[in-house]
Amino acid sequence: MPRSSSHKTVLLSLVALAFASTASADLEREIRAAIGSSGSGKSIISVSIRNAEDGSELVEIRDDRPMIPASNMKLFTSGAALHRLGTDFFTRTEMRLDDDTLWLVGGGDPALGDPVILENTTWVTEGNTQESLDVDLLVDLMVDTVLMEGVTELDEMIVDDRIFDRVFFHPDWPVDQLDKWYCAEVAGINLHLNVLTVHMRPGTGSRPVLQRTEPRVPWLTPSIDATNRQGKKDATKIGISRPAGSNQLRIYGNIGEPIAAEVTLTDMPATVVELMRNRLAQAGISVGTVRLATSEDLAPSGRLIKPTLSTPISVLLERCNTNSHNLYAEALCKLIGHDVENEPGSWENGTRAVRMVVRDRIGAAFAQAFQQADGSGLSRNNKVTAELITAWLASFHQDDELGPTFFESLAVAGSTGSVSRRCRDLPDGIRVDCKTGHINGVSCLSGVVRSESGECLAFSVLCNQLDPKFGTTGAKRLQDRIVGLLADRLAPARTAIGSN
């Protein structure tokens, strides 16, 4: 008696499932073999591979172990910001004129005065177009708009940074590195990535010369302890340090040729107060008082002075993920907290908001495994699992509204960002969108591998407690090897895992 069509369908389904199971088992064996031959020693390796189409997990190697994600934490901060704020969100930095009071209202924008952003910024006012700005020109143009309003005298100027709290750096961050750009403080009004760029050149005497700073801050005078040797064996090296909580800068090293270096500044809102006081005076505008807003001040009011400075969320996400800029991640974290709780954004309410989004998108069980201390992953108290990361990535792959914007913000292996020189030998038709992560003893890589036909695998390879002989170099080599195995599986000549 011939089989019915329903029996045939069931049989075909069973065959497909058996094939998918076998292919998945083969892939896990290959990945385990790659780990075994990698020389990882006592390093802890956690791997999750997931079919992003249906969410099924294909490879589970210590995938439920809590791991330090380093900058892979940015995947959650940026994704939660996109989920909560939407694709049309943009930050706003405003100036408002209320009688004889001028308000500068910060929107928590990390892009304000960012040199990378300013290179592609055009400032248009009546009869005036400026392209390829720098931070000093930006501030001067802001002051010019006040002059164009006919203002020559102000009773008061108030810098309002109250969108965020005034806890500028996270207690988990390394105190001995707070002068480095990746530890830049986070404020309700940020400028120039909250760093000062110092330009030095050799002098005619025994000491080098400070040429200029970006932005111009004439009230800050660094001490110069650098030498001025220019012999053939005298290399040019520069360092800039400052004590925690102080803008007393010290320049050291040897300045044998012109060179520039960066140092973070503390309390950027207070620095902006001094900057505006200085620039308004230079422009001939008399100001009685320039100060920060207090809790006693009402909300800013008055007439909006255009143009308004704004940054779309797509740019914020790209700088956060492709460029892995910590300031952007931390600002996004505090922006979410402010949006959810209508209080000054903080790490406390920001991380609560991110956890809420994790629960909403992928469920309470995964949210229980999610431990976030800061937005960027610089804290060693962040803990996630590899299976949590791939479930998060799969949720965006399945999201037609938010997914494209989210994945466009990631670096492309072999092309952009921190992976521009990695995974260059991928098969034709394969694209890898991913996020790196690295702090001392930690190296991570997570993202998605796609084929031209639309198949997509989410992956997470988290390496913690790196064995000294393995190190970051070995971890990256292993991560790239695993990505290569996934790319081979999805190459056009191969049959996709889990296909029917």
pLDDT tens for the chain, 500 residues: list them: 444 445 554 444 443 444 456 678 899 999 999 999 999 999 999 999 999 999 999 999 999 999 999 999 999 999 999 999 999 999 999 999 999 999 999 999 999 999 999 998 888 877 678 888 999 999 999 999 999 999 999 999 999 999 999 999 999 999 999 999 999 999 999 999 999 999 999 998 878 999 999 999 999 999 999 999 988 889 999 999 999 899 999 999 999 999 999 999 999 999 999 999 999 999 999 999 999 999 999 999 999 998 889 999 999 999 999 999 999 999 999 999 999 999 999 999 999 999 999 999 999 999 999 999 999 999 999 999 999 999 999 999 999 999 999 999 999 999 999 999 999 889 999 999 999 999 999 999 999 999 999 999 999 999 999 999 999 999 999 999 999 999 999 986 544 444 43
At residue 214, the pLDDT reads 97
Domain 29-86+316-490: which CATH class? alpha beta
Query: How many other C-beta atoms lie within 10 A of the C-beta of residue 215?
Result: 22
> Helix (H, G, I), strand (E, B), or coil: what is residue 258?
coil
Contact indicator for 262, 181 with CB cutoff of 8 Å: yes
At residue 121, the pLDDT reads 86
Six token digits for residue 190: 């940020």
Q: How far apart are CA 245 and CA 220, in angstroms?
A: 14
Helices (H), 72-169: 73-85, 115-118, 135-148
DSSP sequence for 5-28: HHHHHHHHHHHHHHHHHHHHHHHH
H/E stretch holding 390: helix 386-397
- Residue 124 Cα to chain centre, angstroms: 28
Q: How far apart are CA 376 and CA 183, in angstroms?
A: 10
Residues 6+ apart with CB under 8 A from 259: 199, 200, 201, 236, 238
Burial of 143 per CB tally in 10 Å (0-12, 13-18, 19+): buried
Query: How many other C-beta atoms lie within 10 A of the C-beta of residue 454?
Result: 8
Per-domain boundaries in the chain: 29-86+316-490, 90-313
Q: How far apart are CA 240 and CA 198, in angstroms?
A: 9
Q: What is the pTM of this model?
A: 0.93
Helices (H), 37-114: 73-85
Cis peptide leading into residue 307 (ω within 30°):
yes
Residues 6+ apart with CB under 8 A from 209: 200, 201, 202, 203
Burial of 79 per CB tally in 10 Å (0-12, 13-18, 19+): buried
Six token digits for residue 276: 């505006």
At residue 19, the pLDDT reads 42
Q: How far apart are CA 464 and CA 443, in angstroms?
A: 7
- The residue count of the chain comes to 500
> Helix (H, G, I), strand (E, B), or coil: what is residue 428?
coil
Contact indicator for 89, 341 with CB cutoff of 8 Å: no
Six token digits for residue 162: 């109250």
